[in-house]
Copies of this chain bind each other. A is one copy, B any other.
């Protein structure tokens, strides 16, 4: 699939509530995923949902997840249980003239599917590279790569971006006509995630400078 191909949602990936906020371009899905740091993975364990934050990476139309071979959620997903992976960016608090129309501006991608355990060593490394670079661009070439023992302790999962929905809210509050004359302030308090100054590990020799890729990460997030 290329990024101009529209998302073809199934019934469960179709945005039903607030359908006007649904985006249908695959490029919107990529943009929301690529801008994130962690997502929330949902699996069903003993009939009940479990939702945990976790890192991820994307290569084309494949989302890579990873985790310890001992983690219960990962084990369930690896065993073929259906999963849901959601990435949300909070962009603003929306103050309306009524409490009912208070809202948030956000971008949210929801991916449904069944994960595939990656066995091929080359794809496992590709997935782990995608995961590392999603969080910390430049680290895959700067840091020590995983050794045999670390790889053996890690499950890498691949989730196809076939069944996915994107929902975005932007702009001012959607107040009722009848409320517009109320003497109540309305508007948006924009939110963003920013990075502070890099904090070197206390065990690092004092002369080691903060490398370019870390400085750039700070800028790309918005310092």
The dominant DSSP class at the A interface is mixed
Interface string of A138-173 (1 = CB under 8 A from B): 011011111100100010000000000000000011
Number of copies: 2
- Which residues of B are found within 8 Å of A123, using beta-carbon distances? none
A window 46-99: CB within 8 A of B: 46-53, 55, 67-68, 70-72, 82-86, 88, 90, 92-93, 95-99
Count contacts on A: residues with CB < 8 A to the other chain. Answer: 96
Interface string of A206-218 (1 = CB under 8 A from B): 0011110010011
Contact among B82, B93, B108 with A217 in the assembled complex (CB-CB below 8 Å): B93
- Which residues of B are found within 8 Å of A52, using beta-carbon distances? 86, 108, 110
Q: Is A43 an interface residue (CB 8 A)?
A: yes
User: In the bound complex, do residue A40 and residue B51 qualify as a contact, i.e. CB atoms below 8 Å apart?
Assistant: yes
Q: Is A1 an interface residue (CB 8 A)?
A: no
User: In the bound complex, do residue A38 and residue B142 qualify as a contact, i.e. CB atoms below 8 Å apart?
Assistant: no
Give A182's nearest chain B residue, CB to CB: B144
A216 CB to closest chain B CB, in angstroms?
11
- Which residues of B are found within 8 Å of A218, using beta-carbon distances? 189
A window 81-136: CB within 8 A of B: 82-86, 88, 90, 92-93, 95-100, 102, 104, 106, 108, 110, 112, 128, 132, 135-136
What are 9 A-B interface contacts by the 8 Å CB criterion?
A: A12-B45, A52-B86, A102-B132, A172-B202, A187-B204, A188-B201, A191-B196, A192-B196, A194-B194
